[in-house]
Amino acid sequence: MEYSLFTNMNRCTPEEVQRLLLLVPDKQKEEALKFKHTFGQFATLESFLLLRQLLVENYQIDLNDPLDFVVGEHGKPSLRNHPHIHFNISHCPNAIAVAVDDAPIGVDVERYVNPSPSLLNYCMNEQECQQVQESEYPERDFAALWTQKEALFKQRGTGITHELRMVLAHPHSDVKLSTETFDKQQFAFTLATAVR
């Protein structure tokens, strides 16, 4: 398993988007330009370049490989011409994360936000709600729990399901969750990897 975590978000400018457009194949240019706002364009381009770099460095994929993406039933992407390689991408206004592995993998980044009571009750179980509400830093704890849930769903390839509130309450002996919080940059990051 390898991952790249990009946090230099001050590069998210229209000028940088124009520069990155010159570095990607036409298909990725089209995907990026579907977004009307700079952040969506930048995140799409930067995450593609990070993925390509990880694939070149760890799987000896040729830099000019077209990387034919396919999307699963619940939105999880894969590579048609490299089905043995698993990858996942996530971005928020504070960071971009890309991970690759030989087994299903999930990654999520989320910026710190102070959750409203309705959001907290919607996505957290009673114990998690209490943890966030009693925390000295509820924004950090909420982001950490959210990224764990999202990374786990992404690793499974199911998308967010009705299990949202209780997904972390059940043991997951087949998945390892690794979470880091970055108080200076105000985001949480979680990797969900298969236990081998």
Indicate if 21 and 92 belong to the same structural domain: yes
Burial class (CB in 10 A: 0-12, 13-18, 19+), 44: buried
Do 147 and 183 belong to one domain?
yes
- 128 pLDDT higher than 90: yes
Which residue range is the domain that position 61 belongs to?
A: 2-102
pLDDT in tens, 148-181: 999 999 999 887 877 899 999 988 889 999 999 9
Full DSSP string of 27-68: HHHHHHHT-SSHHHHHHHHHHHHHHHHHHHHHH---TT----
2, 193 contact by CB (below 8 A): no
Q: Give the residue from 102, 134, 159 where a domain finishes.
A: 102
Residues 6 or more apart whose Cβ sits within 8 Å of residue 90: 96, 97, 107, 108, 109, 150, 151, 154
CB 58 within 8 A of CB 68: no
Judge if 80 and 10 occupy the same domain.
Answer: yes
Together in a domain, 46 and 128: no
Last-in-domain residue among 83, 102, 121: 102
Q: Are residues 9 and 82 in the same domain?
A: yes
Q: Are residues 183 and 139 both part of a single domain?
A: yes
- Whether residue 127 sits in one domain with residue 97: no
Number of domains in the chain: 2
Strands 105-111 and 187-194: antiparallel
pLDDT at residue number 25: 92
For residue 56 the two structure tokens come to 């070149």
Q: What is the pLDDT of residues 3-52, one digit of tens each?
A: 999 999 999 999 999 999 999 999 999 999 999 999 999 999 999 999 99
Gyration radius (Cα) of the chain, Å: 17
Q: What are 66-109's pLDDT values in tens digits?
A: 788 888 877 788 899 899 999 999 999 999 999 999 999 999 99
Same domain, 112 and 97: no
Same domain, 87 and 143: no
The pLDDT value given to residue 158: 85
Q: Are residues 178 and 115 in the same domain?
A: yes
Whether residue 91 is found in the same domain as residue 167: no
d(CA 192, CA 104): 9
Q: Considering the entire predicted model, what is its pTM?
A: 0.93
Considering the domain architecture, whether residues 14 and 53 belong to the same structural domain is answered as yes
Which CATH number goes with the domain that contains 117? 3.90.470.20
User: Which of 66, 86, 102 is where one domain is finished?
Assistant: 102
